[in-house]
Amino acid sequence: MLDITNLTIFLLVFTRVFSFMVIAPFFALPGIPTLAKFGLSFFLAVVIYPVLPGTPVNVSGNLIGYMLALTKETITGLSLGILVNIIFSGIRNAGQYMDFQMGFGLANAVDPLTGIQGTMIGQFINLLGLVFFFNIDGHHRLINAFGNSYQLVPLNAAGFNYASGLIAAKAFAGMSLLALQISAPLLAVLIIVDLALGFVAKAAPQINVFLLGFPLKILAGLFILFIILPLLATPLTKVFSLMEKNMFYLLKGLS
């Protein structure tokens, strides 16, 4: 039977879990009902609560102190969720780089999962990354890594300093590098196509390079994309492993 002390501790656990769920990949999709997120968060909190580290939870200042503790747990959960989301943003940005170079940059469509506008290849690469994430059991690894956060950063023990800020900045820089690495083969080929079209325009000015270039770049881009899709498994596996490492480094910075 829960007394008032255990109930307040459980609420702190639930707050971190729910804050993570409302922003983490897949769990944050608008199509998932809020009640389902609430129920899953409650279930995970029930599972995590009995295995919390034995460190006592220090909450001083009565109600004000407890509200500050809830705020800390909310920020910790949101920080972890944003850090994980950065990885998927990098994958989506890689597709957008491809779209821009192929000429699909202006052909935006509403993503049925997120409800926001995005380019076609960007949405496709994002869905591919999400499917691969579930295929390698990434959602279980993600939940397990989040459960370990209570070992590294006990309840009401998070300290927000310059180290955690540097880790977040490094994660954002890694997102841009990730997007460039995934899209690099296609971008390199399309740059070569642009150079070839430039030579054609010099050698035969009567040829309308603009009309010739659009379909040629689209065909070349789709062909290269067809070739590199089976090869994305290796970099995506490393990317999702990096996601767990980033969570670990952030938690070390908060501890």
What pLDDT is recorded for position 53? 66
Q: Report the Cα–Cα distance between both ends of the chain, in Å, rounded.
A: 31
Strand extents, DSSP E, the chain:
108-110, 117-119
3-state helix, strand, coil in the chain (%, to 5): 75, 0, 20
At 161, is the secondary structure helix, strand, or coil? coil
Other CB atoms within a 10 A radius of the CB of residue 26 amount to 16
- Tell me: the pLDDT tens digits for 25-67? 777 777 777 788 888 888 888 888 887 766 566 666 577 777 8
Question: CA 255, CA 242: separation in Å to the nearest integer?
Answer: 20
**What integer pLDDT is reported at residue 135 of this predicted model?**
83
In the prediction, which pLDDT does 205 show? 76
* CB neighbourhood size of 108 (10 A): 16
Q: How far apart are CA 213 and CA 243, in angstroms?
A: 39
CA dist 182 → 10, 73, 237, 238 (Å): 42, 34, 12, 12
Residue in 71, 94, 93, 40 with CA at minimum distance from that of residue 228: 94
Instruction: Per-residue pLDDT tens, the chain, 255 aa: give them.
Output: 446 777 788 888 888 888 888 887 777 777 777 788 888 888 888 888 887 766 566 666 577 777 888 888 888 888 888 888 887 777 888 888 888 777 776 666 656 655 666 677 777 888 888 888 888 877 788 888 888 888 877 776 666 666 666 766 777 777 777 778 788 888 888 888 888 888 887 877 777 777 777 788 888 888 888 888 888 777 777 777 777 777 777 777 666
Domain coordinates in residue numbering, the chain: 4-254
DSSP helix/strand/coil, 117: strand
